[in-house]
Structure 1
Amino acid sequence: MVNDTIVAVRGYAGGNPKVYENATSGDVTTVNLGVTPRYFSRETNRFEDGNTIWYTVRARGTLGRNIQTSVTTGTPLLVRGRLDMREWTGKDGSTMRGLTLFADAVGVELTTGRASFVKVRPDPAAETNGGSAGTVSSADTAAGESTPGDSRWLIEESDSSEASGEPLGPAGIGVPPPAMSPDGISPDVMSADEALRSDPSGGAW
């Protein structure tokens, strides 16, 4: 659409993917993505981290299923998709806002490490059975259960690629994506260093 805002962002997964079952329009896979801009400070004469911006990445179909088996907390990602501001009512009745990326492409960012590529094809038997392996029910989602892999996919062939570069600290790992206040302003998020000091394991939120 002409009025759609299409963006590409680079950041780190703030937790394991979640799957929301929808019998009408198909299952939706979501993962939170933290993006921390860098800027040059004239006061310190060095580059510093800006405020982390959190996006909820949403994907369906093949892309969603592959995200389930490829992304974990801290995975560096490149995401392309349609940007949208979504609103919902919080538990206290206030209006909450958050940025959502309806992804059409997701990849692992290779500046800080390497990844192996595995080409997959649908498993006809699993598709016939109609089961949605690797999904999380609404009760499990509320309890914070992580998403297992999707058994509907078969390995066809594999290849690997490698990239090296100066390591960059994952932005905002272990920090929960903040809900925006009613005026649309997101509270400050601690820097990557502070996040890792508070939770060295980089645990999922």
Structure 2
Amino acid sequence: MTDTITIVGNIATAPEQKVLPSGVCVTRFRVASGTRRFDRQSSAWVDGPTNWYGVSAFRGLGENAARSLHKGERVVVTGRLRLRAWENDGKRGMEAEIDADALGHDLMFGVSRYERTHAKHAGPDEQPAPDPLSESTTGESGDAWAPPGLAEASFGDLASAETPY
């Protein structure tokens, strides 16, 4: 059974990228997620307990994570939680691991810049998938996110238009 979880925390280890024997890229790192609260009695911020998670990002997400994330950065991680029992030299424990579905910087504490990556194609005979933001797929305005037919419309035009409801 897997549960979906979202955590916010700091990257505690440098992200390490590996390619599995199957050819799949995986990037792994650890995240420390803790709580902080203001104690009115002492008029100071108090740190609560810290939870540690191992994070694994596969395929394209793993490649982008290795290029984008660094030790010490604050991140948001969403994925599938797995608890794994381990034993080493007579010691036993449980480890919380997250197979990431989405990763990103926590913008509460800094800024980030998004750069779209292009999908790789498998062989020399195959054509790469068209970039959805390229000139050929954009509307007349050049904006890939603009609805069709709104190339010449301005916000003023839209505000004065009658609503269908």
TM-score, structure 1 normalization: 0.55
Counterpart in 1 of 2:22? Answer: 24
Deviation at 1:28, TM superposition (A): 2.1
Which amino acid letter does the alignment assign opposite residue 36 of structure 2?
R
Distance 2:57 2:112 in 1: 21
* TM-aligned CA distance change 1:94 to 1:25, over 3 Å: farther
Deviation at 1:87, TM superposition (A): 2.1
How many residues of Structure 1 are paired with residues of Structure 2 in the alignment? 126
Contact 2:55 / 2:98 at 8 angstroms: preserved in 1? yes
* Pair 1:102-2:115 in alignment: no
Percent of pairs with identical residues? 26
Match of 2:82 among 84, 87, 93: 84
TM-score, structure 2 normalization: 0.67
Deviation at 1:21, TM superposition (A): 3.2
Deviation at 1:61, TM superposition (A): 0.7
Counterpart in 1 of 2:113? Answer: 116
Distance 1:86 1:28 in 2: 18
Aligned to 1:74, the other structure's residue is in SS state coil
Q: Which 4+ residue blocks in structure 1 deviate beyond 6 angstroms?
A: none
Q: Once superposed, what is the RMSD of the aligned Cα atoms?
A: 2.3
Contact 2:28 / 2:57 at 8 angstroms: preserved in 1? yes
Where is the strand percentage greater, Structure 1 or Structure 2? 2
Which amino acid letter does the alignment assign opposite residue 65 of structure 2?
I
Aligned to 2:71, the other structure's residue is in SS state coil
Distance 2:42 2:82 in 1: 35
Deviation at 1:49, TM superposition (A): 1.1
Distance 2:123 2:13 in 1: 31
Contact 2:2 / 2:80 at 8 angstroms: preserved in 1? yes
Counterpart in 1 of 2:54? Answer: 56
Which amino acid letter does the alignment assign opposite residue 68 of structure 2?
S
Deviation at 1:98, TM superposition (A): 1.3
* Cα-to-partner distance string for 1:121-153 (whole Å, 9 max, x where unaligned): 1344xx549xxxxxxxxxxxxxxxxxxxxxxxx
Structure 2 residue ranges without an equivalent (≥5): 125-132, 135-165
